[in-house]
């Protein structure tokens, strides 16, 4: 084993030395001959030393490799792409304005949301608001209602604001360039503008989302933190170099598809990858594997010539168990904030015997902006159940303008809901009122029947509270029925 490690160490050291010397000499020669800036690392100050610039190891210096990768990826995409409604619209819709709007909607919906979840929402949305003019004429309440359950609710609000801006300020015409999309549509960032521009408008620009970051980092062994400015600019430079000028939209979607289905965060399927021959991380895995088996012809381990000073190389050592999953490297996530919220399901008898539920509307800004919820109160510190009930009753009393006693408030249970940055626990109570004529005394409050509640703009967290409340009510009813049956049977036996 000691000999094996020694052999590997010597080979690795010699290989890196040869690679560094060769690439350093070549890089210096190219700089003298061309005197051109490094297009993959624009954004660095002019005084940045050459040693800090990434070597060709992290780029695609050979145009033949670029052409081959484009061909391989697009051929794979033509055979393997999923049939998705927004892709169909982008390919078949002749009206440029509608096509741009349709792709815009899909890209906003797909942010932080899985494709399988988006499909139904997208179809319903486009059926109801097929043009930007239709969306602009809708109310925010209608938009929130349609968006309910999709999460990250500010996205729907920004779509609505953007549609109104297009109609009122741009004469109903969607922006037609990446720059104008970026500047004129709220909620549209660098990636979204590039995706819309390439897919809907055919503009030749790369697009870098989470899937593309992973693919590019593995292809070129970029192991520094993927959110660093140096890596961000390098990845956009790579994307703009690789994008196919004839089919920019298809190419960008192919990169995303590859990251979603083959080059996945965990358990990537490298043997199905159409661009495997261009992947430096895969080649490194195979090379190390061959060295460990002590093959007769020891391969040269390709590496970055600027290792140690390169802003794109990983700072952590290679982990054999991770393989290609050594890339990309992400900064550690902050743990979600833990919150506990008191919430109360307030019921009153409605018309025709159907119960009605009291809902209040959240502020127009912040978490779950504009959505409807049961009366609630953030629990600042743990206290007794009686104090919790007293606090909830005070909130409900202000809404109704009617004093309530704690005895009306019944504990139901707890429900956990996870936001991206909050671990939320709803401590659920219920209050059943006898007066069907109870009116609300504050704005942004209303009574809804159960059927109307299901159609309202409410969050997934509220739906979980509803499920818990319904389950507990059913259990109580079953227990009461069982008790009544037992009493009835016992009375029969006694007689």
pLDDT tens per residue across span 158-204: 999 999 999 999 999 999 999 999 999 999 999 999 999 999 999 99
Token pair recorded at residue 191: 């990636």
Residues carrying CATH 3.90.79.10, the chain: 337-482
In contact, 221 and 284? CB cutoff 8 Å: yes
Which pLDDT value is given to residue 45? 40
> What percentage of residues in the chain have a pLDDT greater than 70?
82
In contact, 326 and 220? CB cutoff 8 Å: no
More confident residue, 492 or 65: 65
Alpha-carbon gap, residue 170 to 181, rounded angstroms: 12
* pLDDT tens profile 59-100: 999 999 999 999 999 999 999 999 999 999 999 999 999 999
Residues carrying CATH 1.10.340.30, the chain: 57-326
Active-site residue list: 107
Instruction: Report the chain's C-alpha Rg in angstroms.
Output: 30
Which pLDDT value is given to residue 55? 79
In contact, 346 and 243? CB cutoff 8 Å: no
Token pair recorded at residue 204: 């030749």
DSSP state of 277: G
Alpha-carbon gap, residue 473 to 477, rounded angstroms: 6
Confidence bin at 350 (pLDDT 50/70/90): confident
Query: Which architecture does CATH list for 57-326?
Result: Orthogonal Bundle (1.10)
Which pLDDT value is given to residue 367? 87
Specify the CATH class of 337-482 in words: alpha beta
Alpha-carbon gap, residue 160 to 437, rounded angstroms: 36
Q: What is the pTM for the complete model shown? A: 0.78
- Cβ-based neighbour number of residue 380 at 10 Å: 9
Alpha-carbon gap, residue 146 to 138, rounded angstroms: 11
Which pLDDT value is given to residue 48? 41
More confident residue, 151 or 211: 211
């Amino acid at each position: 084993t000691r000999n094996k490690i020694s052999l590997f160490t010597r080979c690795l050291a010699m290989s890196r030395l040869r690679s560094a010397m060769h690439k350093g000499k070549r890089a210096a020669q190219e700089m003298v001959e061309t005197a051109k800036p490094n297009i993959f690392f624009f954004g660095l100050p002019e005084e940045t030393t050459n040693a800090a610039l990434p070597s060709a190891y992290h780029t695609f210096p050979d145009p033949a490799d670029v052409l081959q990768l484009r061909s391989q990826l697009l051929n794979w995409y033509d055979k393997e792409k999923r049939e998705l409604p927004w892709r169909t619209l982008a390919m078949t819709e002749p009206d440029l304005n509608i096509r741009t709007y349709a792709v815009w909607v899909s890209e906003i919906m797909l942010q932080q949301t899985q494709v399988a979840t988006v499909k139904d929402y997208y179809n319903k949305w486009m059926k109801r608001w097929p043009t930007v003019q239709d969306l602009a004429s809708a109310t925010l309440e209608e938009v929130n209602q349609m968006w309910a359950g999709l999460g990250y609710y500010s996205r729907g609000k920004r779509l609505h604001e953007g549609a109104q801006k297009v109609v009122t300020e741009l004469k109903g015409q969607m922006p037609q360039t990446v720059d104008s999309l970026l500047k004129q549509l709220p909620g549209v960032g660098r990636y979204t503008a590039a995706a819309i521009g390439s897919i809907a408008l055919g503009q030749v620009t790369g697009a870098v989302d989470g899937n593309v970051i992973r693919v590019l980092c593995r292809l070129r062994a970029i192991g520094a933190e993927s959110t660093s400015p140096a890596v961000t600019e390098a990845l956009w430079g790579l994307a703009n170099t690789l994008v196919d000028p004839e089919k920019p939209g298809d190419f960008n979607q192919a990169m995303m598809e590859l990251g979603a289905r083959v080059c996945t965060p965990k358990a990537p399927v490298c043997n199905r990858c159409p661009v495997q021959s261009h992947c430096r991380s895969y080649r490194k895995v195979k090379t190390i594997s061959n060295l460990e088996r002590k093959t007769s012809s020891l391969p040269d381990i390709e590496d970055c010539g600027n290792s140690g000073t390169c802003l794109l190389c990983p700072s952590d050592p290679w982990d054999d168990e991770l393989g290609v999953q050594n890339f990309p490297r992400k900064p550690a996530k902050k743990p979600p904030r833990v919150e506990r919220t008191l919430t109360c399901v307030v019921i009153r008898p409605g018309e025709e015997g159907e119960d009605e539920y009291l809902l209040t509307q959240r502020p127009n800004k912040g978490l779950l902006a504009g959505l409807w919820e049961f009366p609630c109160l953030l629990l600042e510190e743990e206290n007794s159940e009686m104090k919790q009930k007293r606090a909830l009753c005070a909130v409900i009393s202000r809404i109704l303008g009617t004093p309530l006693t704690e005895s009306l408030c019944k504990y139901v249970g707890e429900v956990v809901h996870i936001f991206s940055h909050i671990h939320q626990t709803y401590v659920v109570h219920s209050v059943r009122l006898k007066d069907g004529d109870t009116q609300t005394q504050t704005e942004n409050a209303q009574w809804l029947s159960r059927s109307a509640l299901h159609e309202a703009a409410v969050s997934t967290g509220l739906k979980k509270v509803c499920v818990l409340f319904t389950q507990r009510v059913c259990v109580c009813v079953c227990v009461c029925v069982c008790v009544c049956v037992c009493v009835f049977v016992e009375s029969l036996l006694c007689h």
